[in-house]
């Protein structure tokens, strides 16, 4: 069980298992993967937006040195 926690699996089954348990684990794994992918995209989008804001801030300071922000 400790090894399973460390590897952060999408799910796991303990034998013997039935079709309902298998289906549930597969659905949860697909959902977890989808959410992790969405989270990674949001993080990337936020990092890009922050980079653009920093660039624009730098341009404003460079172009308007008399009016500091």
DSSP SS3 for 27: helix
Quote the distance between the C-alpha of residue 42 and its chain's center: 7
Is pTM beyond 0.85 here? Answer: no
Structural contact between residues 26 and 11, judged by C-beta atoms closer than 8 angstroms: yes
Q: If we measure between CA atoms, which residue out of 48, 21, 59 comes closest to residue 12?
A: 21
pLDDT at 30: 95
> pLDDT tens digits for 13-66?
899 999 999 999 999 999 999 999 999 999 999 999 999 988 887 776 666 656
DSSP label of 45: H
pLDDT at 64: 63
Is the pLDDT at 68 greater than 70, yes or no? Answer: no
pLDDT at 11: 84
Neighbours of 2 (CB within 10 A): 6
């Amino acid at each position: 069980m400790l090894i399973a926690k460390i590897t952060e699996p999408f799910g796991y089954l303990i034998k013997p298992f039935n079709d309902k348990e298998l289906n549930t684990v597969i659905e949860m794994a697909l959902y977890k993967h989808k959410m992790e992918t969405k989270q990674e995209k949001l993080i990337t989008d936020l990092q890009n937006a922050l980079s653009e804001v920093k660039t624009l801030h730098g341009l404003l300071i460079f172009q308007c040195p008399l009016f500091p922000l």
